[in-house]
Amino acid sequence: MTYTTQMDAARKGIVTEQIKTVAEKENMRVDDLMAKLAKGTCIIPCNKNHHSIVPEGVGEGMRTKVNVNLGISKDANDVELELDKVRHALRLGAESIMDLSCFGKTQEFRSRLVEISPAMIGTVPMYDAVGFYDKELKDISTEEFFKVVERHVEDGVDFLTIHAGLNRAAAERIRKNERITSIVSRGGSLLYAWMEQNDKENPFYEHYDRLLDICEKHDVTLSLGDGCRPGCLADSTDAAQVEELITLGELTKRAWERNVQVMIEGPGHMCMDEIPGNVMMEKRLCHGAPFYVLGPLVTDIAPGYDHITAAIGGAIAAAAGADFLCYVTPAEHLRLPDLDDMKEGIIATQIAAHAADMAKKIPGSRDRDNAMARARADFDWCGQFGLALDPERPREYRQASQPEVEDSCSMCGKMCAMRTMKRVREGKDLGMAK
C-alpha cells in the first residue's frame, strides 16, 4: 500500500519508519501516535528529499520542541558563519532550524543546510522571492511566488511558513482597527504591500489548492503563519489577530482533506494573563492543530534581554498547551544574533520548554531533574555538569571559584546546608573548626 504523507500513512494504518522513530523518542505507543497523526493533533515534518533528517514529532502529548532562526541577509551574508551557527545549534540540541535567508545565495545556504542537518528545516519562501527575482515586490507574479515555493520544497525543506490567512478581509480589519505597531510579521507585511499595490487577493489564499498540491507531493508540512500577530502588548488579541486565526482554522481543515500536515503559528507580544486564553483559542478554532509560538514576549521594555521575556511567555504558553517554541535571542529587535546570542536564546527557550513539559506531565520529563537532585545531594560535580542543559557554564563557574572543601561551593563553604545534613546523617563531625 502506498501513501503520500505521514498523515495519509497514519490514516491508512501504515507504520512508517518516521512514525517508529518518533514513537520511540516520545515513549508513545505507535497506535496512539498514529491516531494523533490521523486526526492532525500531531505532525512529523519530514520532506521526502531531506535525507539527513532524524524525524521529530510536534503536538499533543509530546515534548515541547525548540526552533532556531538563522539565515543570511544583505547586511550579514556570510554563508560559512551561518553554517557555523547551524552546527552550534545542533550541538545544543535544537530540534528545528528555520532558514530565514533573504539575500544572495539563498539556495546554496539552504542546500548545504539540508545536507548537514538532522533537525527539521523550515523556510519562508516569501522572503526569498524578493531577493531571488531582484525586482520590485509589486512586479512579482503569482507564478513566480509559486516557483520559489516549489524550489524550496524540491531542495528538501520540511515545513513552509506561508501567511495564507492574511487575506483582503484581514487586511481591511487592520485598516479599520489601528494598531500601534501595525503588521510586524515580515512575510505578512510583504503580502499586505503586494495586495495593496496590485489590488489583488493574497495569492497563497486565492490559490491555496495549488499550495496543497505541492505540499502533498513531497510531504511538506504547512506552518500557517500569523501575519497579524501582535508586535506589542497593546495590539494583542485584537480583531485582526482573531479574524486571521479563524481563517487559519478553515485552511487547516482544507489541508487535512488533502492529508497535508499543518501547524499554526502564534504571537508575538502578549501580557502573561492573555497567554493561556490564546492557546485555548488556537486549539479550539484550529481544531487541535499543533501550535508554534514566538515567545510570546511578556513585556516590551527589555531590549537586550528579550530571550528572558520570551522564555517567560514560552513557558506559560507551552504549559497551557503550545507545542513548539521559536527561540528569541538577546539581540531580538536590535541586530542579527551572533553565536553567543544564539546560545543564550537556545538555552533560555529550552528551559521554558522543559519546565512546561513537567507541568504538562510528559512521561519521563522529570527524570533528568531527579537525577540532578541526586547528583547535588552527593556533591557529584561531574554528574551535575553532564545533566545540565549547558555543561560548559556550570563547569566554568565551579572552576573559577574553588571552595576550601570539595563538598561545598564557595558561596556557603562549610556552612553548606546539604553538606551539614549529609555529614550529620553519616555521623561525621562538621569540621567547622578545621
* DSSP-derived secondary structure letter, 185: -
Confirm whether residue 333 is marked as ligand binding.
yes
- And the C-alpha cell for 56? 521529530
Confirm whether residue 208 is marked as ligand binding.
no
d(CA 330, CA 325): 16
Confirm whether residue 228 is marked as ligand binding.
yes
Q: Is the dihedral of CA 7, 11, 17, 19 positive or negative?
A: positive
Confirm whether residue 187 is marked as ligand binding.
yes
Region of 250 on the Ramachandran plot (φ > 0 left; ψ -120 to 50 alpha; else beta): alpha
| Omega cis (within 30) before 296 | yes
Confirm whether residue 69 is marked as ligand binding.
yes
Helix intervals (H) in 360-416: 367-377, 381-387, 392-400
Residue type, position 351, single letter = I
Nearest Cα residue to 217 out of 170, 171, 258:
258
Contact between 179 and 240 under an 8 Å Cβ cutoff? The reply is yes
Confirm whether residue 412 is marked as ligand binding.
yes
Confirm whether residue 292 is marked as ligand binding.
yes
Confirm whether residue 287 is marked as ligand binding.
no
Confirm whether residue 416 is marked as ligand binding.
yes
Encode burial over 64-75: b for 16+ CB neighbours within 10 A, e otherwise.
Answer: bbbbbbbbbeee
Torsion angles phi and psi, residue 238, rounded to 5 = -95, 180
Encode burial over 236-266: b for 16+ CB neighbours within 10 A, e otherwise.
Answer: bbbebbbbbbebbbebbeebbebbbbbbbbb
Torsion angles phi and psi, residue 103, rounded to 5 = -155, 145
Confirm whether residue 229 is marked as ligand binding.
yes
d(CA 361, CA 51): 33
Q: What angle do CA 50, 51, 56 make, to 5 degrees?
A: 70
Torsion angles phi and psi, residue 59, rounded to 5 = 140, -160
Confirm whether residue 286 is marked as ligand binding.
no
Confirm whether residue 409 is marked as ligand binding.
yes
Q: How long, in residues, is the chain?
A: 434
Confirm whether residue 186 is marked as ligand binding.
yes
Residues at the binding site for [4Fe-4S] cluster are 409, 412, 416
Residues at the binding site are 69, 98, 127, 163, 185-187, 226-229, 265, 269, 292, 333, 409, 412, 416
Residues at the binding site for Zn(2+) are 269, 333
Residues at the binding site for substrate are 69, 98, 127, 163, 185-187, 226-229, 265, 292
